[in-house]
Amino acid sequence: MREEHSGDGDRSTTRRAYLRYGGAVVGGGLLAGCTGDTGSGSTTTDAAETADTATEPTATTETTADDGYSVSIEPVGEVTFESVPETWVANNGSWADMGIALGLDAPMGVWLPGRYHTQYYDEIPGVSVDIDSIRQLWGEGGVGKEQFYELDADVHVVDPNFLLNRGTWQQADVDEIAENVGPFFGNSIFSRSYPWHEGYRYYTLYEGFEKLAAVFQRTDRYEAFATLHEEFQTDLASVVPAEGERPSAAVVWGGGDSPEQYYPYVIDEGTSFKHLNDLQVGDALAATDVKNFFESRGAIDFETLLEVDPEVLLVRGQEMKTESEFQDTVVSFMENHSVASDLTAVENGDVYRAGPLYQGPITNLVITERLARTLYGVEEELFDRERVADIVAGEV
């Protein structure tokens, strides 16, 4: 692959001058936390301890010099930019949403555009994304290197360990794209349950957001969002019931209109569950023998769910449906199912959409408010839509 593209003039030299790694670079030593598995191995207490110790907040590492600026993120290390990137690729909707919040154009590609739910932007005046303009990177054979050459992005907001452990890439492939196309800059922040995410720290949504803002030199928008988020958290605190009055929920993934198999998700501190943690929703699966999907890659049926019998059932994989569509299909199916109809959540009408797997600052505001209405009966708006639109537009 390297030789096939080496005839493009002095392209690789120009690219290295534009965006280059400084100090520690992506390489075998830096990615020592990788085990080479596909995410199906079992976790250990070491993984849990790593997650706990890796969440201590640290300041964004960035240095500025006459010839550029540097930003660091684990597991990549420090990356030096001689000018601000113009085009980019994102791993998923978490990072894509951060870019939109910073007022960037949509990423040129993401793993699965179908899981980047841009309909949430309908809540924000003047903010929209044409999902059809975003290339799907994941295919039958995984993610191909050729796509990275074709897109020719200035920066790849992707955790290289995700490529190495959830696909067929080798370290040499990561190095090749970083050298010939553009650097990697990302961390798999949406989940803290992957066994291969050991040995390097996790980031909260806003810690990752701050890093990305530094890359694109739009920290003013990040700071405005951070202030808005603090106000939002204060408003949430006033609507969350006392501990004994909050429901316990089972989070599962079930696609289609009549799913009978579900992938169970134990709530962790990843950004995938930020709205649930912010609303202090109890986890009905945490104290059971049901294995987390991130660990087992296995499914459960209604019989297993009935053994758990959660107060609330939150179903992922249904975000493309409106609430009424969800009720008319998935919920109606459960109500008429011989086993599902005995679930307490079904009997009491407490089956809801769980929110997306990937969320950034805008998405988090929208779906957290939606869940607050669903679970706690909140009627008022909990964040200012116009203020969000202003920040995205740069009116900070």
List the Cα angle 111/116/119 in 5-degree steps: 160
Output the pLDDT for position 194. 85
Q: Which pTM value belongs to this model? A: 0.84
**Alpha-carbon dihedral sign for residues 76, 266, 119, 121:** negative
Give the contacts of 327 (CB within 8 A, at least 6 positions apart): none
Q: Where are the domains of the chain?
A: 2-217, 241-392
Which pLDDT belongs to residue 296?
77
Q: At a CB cut-off of 8 Å and minimum separation 6, what does 140 contact? A: none
Under a CB-based contact definition with an 8 Å cutoff, are residues 73 and 187 in contact? yes
| Pairwise CA distance, residues 322 & 318, whole Å | 9
User: Are residues 162 and 191 in contact, defined by beta-carbon separation less than 8 angstroms?
Assistant: no
Tell me if domain 2-217 and domain 241-392 are identical in fold: yes
Q: What is the pLDDT at residue 66? A: 55
Q: Please list the alpha-helical segments (H only) found in 153-256.
A: 160-165, 171-180, 205-215, 219-237
**Distances, alpha carbon 144 to alpha carbons 37, 97, 175, in Å:** 19, 23, 14
- The answer to whether the beta carbons of residues 101 and 124 sit under 8 Å apart is no
In CATH terms, the fold of domain 241-392 is Rossmann fold (3.40.50)
The closest of 289, 318, 328 to 305, measured between CA atoms, is 289
Q: Report, at the CATH architecture level, how domain 2-217 is classified.
A: 3-Layer(aba) Sandwich (3.40)
Instruction: Show the low-confidence residues of the chain (pLDDT under 70).
Output: 1-66
Torsion sign (Cα): 373, 275, 361, 149: negative
| β-strand pairing of 138-139 with 142-143 | antiparallel
The gap from C-alpha 395 to its chain's centroid, in whole angstroms, comes to: 26
